[in-house]
Structure 1
Amino acid sequence: LAWGVALWSLATLLTPWAAAHSTLALLCVRAFFGLAEGVAMPSMTTLLSRWFPRDERASAVGISMAGFHMGNVVGLLLTPIMLSCIGISGPFILFASLGLLWVSTWSSGVTNNPQDSPFITRSELRLIQAGKQVHTPTNRAKPNPYLLLLLSKLPTWAIIFANMTNNWGYFVLLSWMPVYFQTVFNVNLKQAAWFSALPWATMAISGYYAGAASDFLIRTGHSVTSVRKIMQSIGFMGPGLSLLCLNYAKSPSCAAVFMTVALSLSSFSQAGFLLNMQDIAPECAGFLHGISNCAGTLAAIVSTIGTGYFVQWLGSFQAFLTVTAFLYFATTVFWILFATGERVF
């Protein structure tokens, strides 16, 4: 993870230079950025599965992802200001510097396994190990299953389709939200940034509470399968309905409310498919996350590019928002039918 952050921070720092040099250089640097950034989520999944007992992982994911979402808030608010005051290189230098600062702190204080950490107490270590023993049939490490074996099980496909749908909606909103406000409601870029930042801030908060609620339900005796299905259903049905309502928004304030609701409820997916990888494949959760993230990234690319074509073709955002909403609904049905909280691999 540290190497990934260091490399994508370097790529961020080089982006203005590459843009000034040539289109090919810019594409190469951004491709390198994407390759380096790809390790983040699988690494996080692996670390959380090692460091937290099962009935605390949803809260841990909620806290971790809160930082992820707040990064969007900071980026959306600071970037327009820095562009107007400092120039195009300012945001890239700042964000690259923050990444390298994080690497120096992380590398000196974090270990892959809790038993190797000098900062953990014996009671904390026993709590982590006990949480794993309760839910895991054996402590003996198993080799990673073959890719074909992973793909032969429907719970794996439930995670893959959920990741694809989540990324589809997430990156449509992340990439096109400022353009939406600017195009539909004729607000300027700085105003659009404020309207766009609010949903991400509430998403950080709601994601934590979704995780806490998930852990509470598991501790009070509800099955992991039912909790994962409930959380994921909220995480997809809520955004789907909100996007349909967004088609009827008559003001930027009203649209911001619907987008805020959509993204806030989508954070419940953190206690759904994002945690489910650790449920069905605890010994290779990072590997499974990497597989599903490949599909999710492709969906994000298609949706981000597709939004532009849809809007250009039809002259409005409404059609694409409707397609995205029904994609949420269809994936929810598949998830309810085939997802499980029990160990599969």
Structure 2
Amino acid sequence: MAVLSSPSSRSVCWSHSSSPSSSSPPSISSSIGVSDGSRGSKLRIVSGGLTLKGRNRIAREALVSGKTQEAWSGRDGQRKGKKKGGSGGGAAGAMMCSAEGIGRRLERGQVGRAAVAIPERTKVLLMLAVVMCLCNADRVVMSVAVVPLASRYGWSSSFLGIVQSSFLWGYLISSVAGGALADRYGGKRVLACGVAVWSLATFLTPWAANHSTAMLLAVRALFGLAEGVAFPSMSTLLFRWFPCSERASAVGISMAGFHMGNVISFLASPIILSSIGINGAFAFFAALGFVWLSAWTLGITNDPRDSPRISQAELQLIRAGKMDLKMENSQLPPLGYLLSKLPAWSCILANMANNWGYFVLLSWMPVYFKTVYNVNLKQAAWFSAVPWGVMALSGYIAGASSDFMIKSGCSITKVRKLMQSIGFIGPAVSLLCLRYAQTPTAAAVLMTIALSLSSFSQAGYFLNIQDIAPKYAGFLHGITNSAGTLSAIISTIGTGYFVQWLGSFQAFLTLTAALYFGTTVFYNLHATAEQVFF
């Protein structure tokens, strides 16, 4: 076995065993496996009898070109071995790999069949996408259940806004603490604790509503306290597990899971509510959280360098261009230091504007369709679900487009500003046009446009946090998230009061559009993708 490696994190390896007979056709005499330095990598099995000189030449060409070679036939290799008198005439095979892909293995007697080894960072990403889906689904079940709950307990529109915002009270506190803990102890443990607590709080919500109003608000605040650690933990894990050239796509996929949580919960909750009641709906989503938790604790590590299953090639790809940081137990910077830089404020204000609009639509969309267009709960759920489904797709498109532009040589700062501008100007225009919607279908189309374009913010300020403060990404994300949560509390409660006083949603939607426009200007003036905090 020989392994060649290059600074570009590609590795080329080959495995060879000779057959004693040069006259017989080449055959695979033993299983050909992936070496320890190549797990999780894309392999091309090259059968046949290449000479040692020929194999070395092919390996060098693969490293220089960065492309995986195609297969050579055994008979050609046999003839070359005979002609040159090399010992490779009856070679079992040569095996080459590239770090960017998926591992394969050719077993004895299974020519052409390959076993796929999924890269470890892909497993982390899939688990994050699932938990972000649960994170949002557990929020939305309350947005749907609040309609029958309000009818049962006689809640006014203003009190409805207080109930809807109560989970944000805990969320406000835990975002900064969760980010600091994720940077210090790792996102895996912090996120696991968060999921356990918020799943328990989800299960207890209908019991609390039946017990007393104060108990309901306390349980929802506990729910928010636990969910506040999700985004900072995700930000820390994505920075550690993904190279810069893949990070926007990774965020896009994670956030696609987050937005699909809206779709799943908006569609499933009315069905579950009508089938097994309010208690059953909350119990169902709580159980999913505990199932995810059991898989997360067994299969994921905080840092790729701690993973027992990651290949050296994949680890080199992840670590390329990063500082050699071990961030656990590192000292957090003074809060005043982080708040002294305008690039940090551009991310903070962007998060505030984003959360303002996002939580208005998340919390009030079913109520909006029922109040303005007099549709029933199931119809309102369908109209509410479609925009979030499209948002999941557009978020991935934004991430992939961002990565493509960066790989093509575009300035990272310009890419971040472009994505953020799309993410704010598009929703602002759509919300202003909502006043002209005469049917629920037209309103759903405009909300779909608003939410799908707002997902471009994921490739804007959301990633910008990791650009300017890689060592403190979780902590800074927690600060921006807390500011955004305060903004969401004001907007969620404010919508209820505006509707009660003015009898219309449109005034508040116009205010939201104005905030989008103003923040876009500030972000484009002061944002940068250069590292600011060291």
Q: TM > 0.5 between the two?
A: yes
Q: Give 1:98 shift.
A: 0.4
Equivalent residue number for residue 28 of structure 1: 218
Q: Match for 1:156 among 344, 347, 354?
A: 344
Answering whether residue 278 of structure 2 is matched by residue 88 of structure 1, we say yes
Contact 2:325 2:471 in 1 (8 A): no
CA distance in 2, matches of 1:265, 1:298: 23
Contact 1:55 1:131 in 2 (8 A): no
Q: Give 1:140 shift.
A: 7.6
AA matched with 1:234: I
Equivalent residue number for residue 216 of structure 1: 404
Answering whether residue 257 of structure 2 is matched by residue 67 of structure 1, we say yes
1:1-345 correspondence runs (5 A): 1-132=191-322, 139=325, 143-345=331-533
AA matched with 2:507: A
Give the count of matched residue pairs: 341
AA matched with 2:335: L
> Secondary structure of 1:247's match?
helix
CA distance in 2, matches of 1:33, 1:109: 25
Which stretches in structure 2 are left out of the alignment for 5+ residues?
1-190
Q: Percent identity?
A: 71
Q: Which moved more, 1:115-124 or 1:55-64?
A: 115-124
TM-score under structure 2 normalisation? 0.63
Contact 2:352 2:488 in 1 (8 A): yes
Highest Rg: 1 or 2? Answer: 2
CA distance in 1, matches of 2:363, 2:458: 20
Structure having the larger proportion of residues in helix = 1
Structure ranking higher on relative contact order (CA contacts 8 Å, 6+ apart): 1
AA matched with 2:449: V
Q: Which moved more, 1:284-293 or 1:79-88?
A: 79-88
Q: Give 1:119 shift.
A: 2.7
AA matched with 2:477: H
CA distance in 2, matches of 1:67, 1:192: 22
CA distance in 2, matches of 1:21, 1:286: 37
Contact 2:428 2:450 in 1 (8 A): yes
CA distance in 2, matches of 1:139, 1:27: 41
CA deviation vs aligned residue, 1:237-278 (integer Å, no higher than 9, x gap) = 000011011111111111111000000000000001111110
Two-structure CA RMSD over aligned residues (Å): 1.2
Note closer, same or farther for the CA distance 1:185–1:343 as it changes in structure 2 (3 Å cut). same
CA distance in 2, matches of 1:340, 1:324: 25
TM-score under structure 1 normalisation? 0.96
Contact 1:249 1:255 in 2 (8 A): yes
